[in-house]
Structure 1
Amino acid sequence: MAEAIKAIALEEANNIKTLVTDGLRSGTYSYPFLGILYFGSHHSLWGPLRKLLAPIGTLSLVVTSGMFFFTYVPQVAILAFISGPFAPFAAIPLILSESSTIIKLLARVFMLEESLIDTFDGTMIARGHSALVAKGRVVKSSSASSSSSSASDPMAKLGKLVKKPLGKLSMTYLVRSLIYFPLNFIPVVGTFMYLATQGRRLGPVAHARYFQLKGWDAKRREEWVKAHRAEYTSFGAAAFLLEMIPFASIAFSYSNTVGAALWASNIENNAVEYHEE
């Protein structure tokens, strides 16, 4: 039994190593950081986040403070058996990750779904993909804008959603995330495995709206993700790392959404190249 578990763990580690290596070569890990730059320099995209700053800030403060107050000492005690004297330090990123997961789940369930869709669609319009966005919502023409400034604002062109918003994250998301937390108990290597595992799961989620706009069914989406698994793992790991940062995790959810849209835009602009891969 022990040998079987060891073999499975080794196989999983090798698979993750391959995904990480191929993902680094793809360069898609850069899109979350490009999203930060693009989001920061395009003030018109800030609207959806501005509306939710107060409730999101309060939620982040309450959850993170509560997690440190109630779980820091118990987790240090557990980590002491594995990390020894480094346990007090190892517990910090673990709790931040746990807090981030809880904050994101609660925020996405109760606050963010349509807001992030607006951000993704607005970025796609800004990048010249109004026709694609029009497959999922009403896109107002420039002539319908009341002023020249609003005519150049991609967010002002967003009309009513035609396709229903994507399904909200469920408790399944939280449970699956918690299952992978023990990887952090393994010094250094465990953290990298945790990021890669989360990236592999969450990377494709970043393009859920893109797949919806493309009109792809489940089979088509699965085929696409399978063919580009390393790229999505690379993107997902970088995005997840940013969203682990307390108090800023939700802001990075927006910039990561922008990064996902920039990647989708490049896929559209290089459609032939991507489909030949």
Structure 2
Amino acid sequence: MSERVKETAKEELERVKHLAEEAARSGTYLYPLRGIAYFLSHKSLWKPLTSKLASTVGLGAGITTFMFFFTYLPQAAVLALVNGPLAAISAALLVLSESSTIFTALSKSFLIEEALVDTFDGVLVSKNMTTLVSQDRQLKSGSDPVARLGKLMSKPFAKFTPTAIIRYFMYLPLNFIPVVGTVMFVLLQGQKFGPHGHERYFTLKKMNARQREDWVNERKAAYTRLI
């Protein structure tokens, strides 16, 4: 049994290593920087998110502070048993990942859902992809891409479910593996959460569950690198 466990762990490590290499080659780590640059250079896109900026920053700072104050030391102490002096770094990465998960769930559910959709659609309109956007919302005339956005015809994001949180805690034991386990944990989280950022795109393209799954599987490494 022990040999089988070792072999399985080795195979999983190789799989994650291959995934990380593919992710690095994909170049998607540049997308956040390109997105920020595009956003800053197009003031017409600022309105949806700036209206929620204070509450969103406050929520993120509050969650991160709370998690570090109450969970960092206990997790660092547990990880110290297996990670030794590297436990401080592993615990910090773990707390940041936990904070990100909680923040994403709460902010999308209660604060910025509409703002994210308006920004996403606004970018598409600014890129003259009005035919795509008009499939799911009314468009007005004008030059301001955000001001042109009318009423939505469908719900843009799936409602929050506990499935993601349950899956998150299922992967937590990976952090007991020094360094490599934490890296595997973060990569696997990216693989699961990355596609959620494209929910709106899937809706506009009218993809069914099977089509979405195929799309994500073909770009698994790229989505993982976006975490």
User: Do they fold alike, i.e. is TM over 0.5?
Assistant: yes
User: How far does the alpha carbon of each residue in 1:35-86 deviate from its partner, in whole angstroms, 9 at most, with x for none?
Assistant: 1211122222221221212222332233222222222221121011122233
Whether the 8 Å CA contact 2:79–2:91 is kept in 1: the answer is yes
Question: Following superposition of structure 1 onto structure 2, how do residues 117-136 of structure 1 map, counting pairs within 5 Å?
Answer: 117-136=117-136
Aligned counterpart, 1:176: 167
1:83 matched to 2:74: no
Matched-pair contact (CA < 8 Å) for 1:108–1:168: no
1: CA distance, partners of 2:47 / 2:173:
38
Query: Structure 1 unaligned runs (5+)?
Result: 143-150, 241-277
Aligned residue for 1:216, secondary structure, equals coil
Show structure 1 runs of 4+ deviating over 4 A.
Answer: none
Cα offsets for 1:64-109 (capped at 9, x unmatched): 2222222222112101112223333432222122122112111112
Higher RCO structure, 1 or 2 (CA under 8 Å, sep 6+): 1
Q: Number of matched residues?
A: 227
* SS class of match (1:35): helix
Distance 1:227 1:84, change over 3 A: closer
| 2:190 equivalent to 1:211 | no
Task: Tell me the C-alpha RMSD between the 2 structures.
Answer: 1.9
1:255 is matched with which residue?
none
What is the TM-score normalised by the length of structure 2? 0.90
Q: Report the AA paired with residue 205 of structure 1.
A: H
The structure with the greater share of residues assigned to helix is: 1
2 CA distance for matches of 1:121 and 1:218? Answer: 22
SS at match of 2:138: strand
Deviations 1:20-40 (A, max 9, x none): 222322323322221121112
Contact 1:204/1:225 (8 A) holds in 2: yes
Q: 1:89 to 1:17 in 2, by over 3 A?
A: closer
| Alignment partners' CA distance in 1, 2:68 and 2:221 | 34
Question: C-alpha deviations, 1:225-247, integer Å up to 9, x for none?
Answer: 223323333xxx33x2xxxxxxx
Shift of 1:133: 0.7
Query: Partner residue of 2:58?
Result: 58
Structure 2 CA distance, aligned partners of 1:140 and 1:213? 18
* % identical equivalent positions: 48
1:122-161 Cα deviation digits (max 9, x unpaired): 111111211101111111122xxxxxxxx2x211111100
222 and 85 in structure 1: CA distance in 2 versus 1, 3 angstrom threshold = closer
Task: State the partner residue of 1:186.
Answer: 177
Q: In structure 1, give the amino acid aligned to 2:148.
A: K
For 1:35 and 1:215, the matched residues in 2 are separated by: 24
